[in-house]
Amino acid sequence: MSTLLEYTTGPEGGDERRALVNTRKLVWWIGIPGALLVLGVMAFAIFEPIQVLPRIRLAPGYLLTDQAGESFTSEDVRGDITLYTFRHNNCGDDCAGIDETMAEVLERLGEVDFGDTDVRFVTISFDPERDTPEALAKEAESLGADGDQWRLATGRAAHLKNVIGAGFKVWYEERDDGTFGVDPTLILVDGWGVIRGEYEYRTLTSDADKIIHHLDILAEEIRNASGAAGLAYEAAHIFLCYP
């Protein structure tokens, strides 16, 4: 008993008790902020308060000719958000869904606050022999493509294979009877020329709804690209906070 009393209340026991209390304090003051930091990171990763679109890969560079017969390049849309589609004038039913989606997205652009960023639509034809600038101009008129916000363009066959097939990774093929097979696809590219969205098939949500939602996410990221908000958006990329 006396040993126990000496241990807990004696001069030496007092030092140990003080050391124990100090250690507890240290654990408290380091542990709590540390735990809060870990919880904060976990909450960010789980609840995803900020969503971003993935930076999938570089979009291809290109040199094409548009519906006005003018040279049209990937540099002409640098700095703009651009939505691409791939078709040809005689696409018919194969491209009907894509055309409708483009028209709907164009009509609903007002739902998104793009700030100072412009939005462009580019439709690339993979049938340069038939889709001359004059033919593209006619097609543009029927699609409602004004030649400024929405441009139709085509180029050399070999270059188109590099751009559409290898670069955008969209399958198309000329059949023996001269018709084309194509995998209807829309591709969203940011102002840096980085692919941020690929829409290869229809889901329960219409593609137009999904694209408008993604445009909203991208526009918000662009508006908040600098300062502390920029850090938060980079963190969202690290934690893969994708929609």
Partner 1 sequence: MTRTTKFVLSALAGTVIVGLVAWFFVLPRFVPYVFHGQAIQSSQPAPSIELNSADGPIRLSDYEGDVVVLYFGYTFCPDVCPITLAKLDRALDIIGEGAEDVQVIMVSVDPERDTPEMLKEYVEHFNPTFLGVTGDTETIDRIATMYGVYYEAAEGSEATGYLVNHTATVMVIDRDGYLKLVLPFEGTAEEVAADINYFLR
Binding site for partner 1 (CB under 8 A): 25-26, 29-30, 33, 37, 41, 54-63, 71, 73-75, 158-159, 162-163, 166-167, 190, 192-194, 230-231, 234-235, 237-238
From the CB of residue 87, how many other CB atoms can be counted at a distance below 10 Å? 27
Shortest Cβ 78–partner 1 spacing (Å): 8
Is the Cβ of residue 20 or residue 26 nearer to partner 1 in the bound state? 26
Is the Cβ of residue 130 or residue 156 nearer to partner 1 in the bound state? 156
Is the Cβ of residue 57 or residue 130 nearer to partner 1 in the bound state? 57
* Dist CA 102 CA 230 (whole Å): 30
Any idea how long the chain is? 243
Two tokens, residue 2: 């006396």
Shortest Cβ 90–partner 1 spacing (Å): 26
Shortest Cβ 192–partner 1 spacing (Å): 4
**Beta-strand runs (E) in 34-76:** 57-58, 63-66, 71-73
The residues facing 3 across adjacent strands are: none
CA-closest candidate to residue 241, choices 15, 39, 43, 36 = 43
Is the Cβ of residue 56 or residue 212 nearer to partner 1 in the bound state? 56
Is the Cβ of residue 92 or residue 230 nearer to partner 1 in the bound state? 230
Shortest Cβ 112–partner 1 spacing (Å): 21
The single-letter code of the amino acid at 185 is T
Shortest Cβ 36–partner 1 spacing (Å): 11
Half-sphere exposure of 223 (CA within 13 A, CB side): 12
Lookup result for tokens 């979009």: 59
